[in-house]
Amino acid sequence: MREWLSNIRKTKGLTQKEVSLKCGISRSYYADIERDVRNPKPDTAQAIGEVLGFEWTLFFEKNGRKTRQKFKESA
């Protein structure tokens, strides 16, 4: 469960339906994101962050540390 997401939404006085409508996604998809059943695509994460007023990259942080994509080094 992404309690932090639910808490931000509730602090703003919004329902899941209101957030989903403002983001252009279904309520069930938003609910799955909030329950941590699904991860949002970057554009969806940006939309949710904009609607709720937080940095969208929070979705891609784990235990307070940003995940990093590892690149193969060129020889």
Residue 9: inside a domain: yes
Is 24 a domain residue? Answer: yes
Average pLDDT for residues 48-60, to the nearest whole number? 94
- Decide: 20 and 26 in contact? Cβ < 8 Å: yes
Inter-residue contact 16 to 34 (CB < 8 Å) = yes
Q: Residue 13: inside a domain, yes or no?
A: yes
For residues 36 and 62, is the Cβ–Cβ distance under 8 A?
no
In the predicted structure, residue 14 carries a pLDDT above the cut 90: yes
- Give the pLDDT score at 46: 97
Q: Is residue 33 part of a domain?
A: yes
Q: Which domain holds residue 16?
A: 3-61
What global pTM score does this model have? 0.79
- Interhelix angle 27-34/3-11, rounded to 10 degrees, is 120
Averaged pLDDT, 45-64: 88
